[in-house]
Amino acid sequence: MPVNTEFKGIEYFEQTFKEQIGADGEIKTRDFVFQTLFGDGEGEAPVEADRYRLIWMPGCPHAHKVVITWKLLGLDKVISLGTTGILRTPTGWVFSEDPGEVDPVLQVHSLHELYLNTDPSFTGRSTVPSIVEVATKKVVNNNHYYIPQYLNTAWEKFHKENAPVLYPEDIREDIENLNRYVFTRVNEGFYKCGFARSQAQYERGYNRLFEALDFLEDHLEKRRFLFGDYITDTDIRLYPSLVRYYFAYHQVFRANRQRLSDFKNLWGYARDMYQTEGIRETTFFDEIKKHYQISPHLRPLWGNVHGLYAKGPDKEPWETPSGRERLSSHPEEKFRRR
């Protein structure tokens, strides 16, 4: 991993996120420029094996939830995965960890090249996750909020045998309602603390975030997962933020009323999620820490002038038993199956 030792100051942060945050740090709702639906209809992207490549960056929570879904459903057999480096350059994410810093399938150095190939007039910030059509090298969809739903529904014919049901039809409305809550109050909530440009905005974000975490802590008192015995789409949306809270947000985003490990239920729940086949393999603790702590566009947030990488917190506690199986009527099974 090439380490950028130059401290560029707050101007670089402001330039990177100029289209996403207001003057006081209020997070704006982003417009996703590539939103082709998957299906067999006119104008839709065909659901075909080996046609697409999913691009992610391991530090990004939005990309993480997509990759967890992709892995759990067995779609890694039909959609390939491309991984960018964790340090953003002025032009965005680059394939710095691949030989020659070029994605071996798409043969490009940066994600931004794919955005421009799709829309030569594009002037925004290229983001992960992005689903790219391999033959044309064009981005089909970059809407992180809805991609998990597409993978759960439109791609069902390619789900592995006995795949988990993460988006069950009988509770989809409830899942959608809680998804919105998790996204606006937790996923974005941490960023509203970290990206605030005024004390008032920071405290507003901080208070709403911890109000939500307190609600979820109580909600999980008698439930193993958010909807009871089984992991659903909503759990996969909450988990990436909890991992990053433990390793980065508490310090870098000043979300420091307490640590994740101070929440009895959320901490046990996060470990239970991590200790799940298909989730553990997609969770890269070191990359998450390094991304938030030494990325040039985030270093100014906590004055990391010299680009130091903190030793802690320890990773070992994530392996300790959660004990949350006691809350389940099916303790040996974390998923509802087809």
Architecture of domain 32-158: 3-Layer(aba) Sandwich (3.40)
Q: Which residues of the chain have pLDDT under 70?
A: 1-5, 23-25, 29-31
- Is residue 313 reached through a cis peptide bond, with omega within 30 degrees of 0 on the bond before it? yes
Annotated catalytic residue 52? no
Is beta strand 52-56 parallel, antiparallel or unpaired with respect to 138-141?
unpaired
The average confidence (pLDDT) of the chain is: 94
Q: First CA to last CA across the chain, in angstroms?
A: 41
CA distance 310 to 308: 6
Catalytic residue among 60, 167, 202, 206: 60
CA distance 190 to 245: 8
Q: In the CATH scheme, what is the code of domain 169-327?
A: 1.20.1050.10
CA distance 26 to 177: 22
Annotated catalytic residue 246? no
**The pLDDT value given to residue 262:** 98
This prediction has a pTM of 0.96
Condensed to tens digits (0 to 9), the pLDDT of residues 42-51 reads 999 999 999 9
CB-facing half-sphere around the CA of 75: CA atoms within 13 A: 28
Condensed to tens digits (0 to 9), the pLDDT of residues 194-250 reads 999 899 999 999 999 999 999 999 999 999 999 999 999 999 999 999 999 999 999
CA distance 111 to 102: 10
Domain range list for the chain = 32-158, 169-327
Catalytic residue among 12, 191, 206, 292: 191
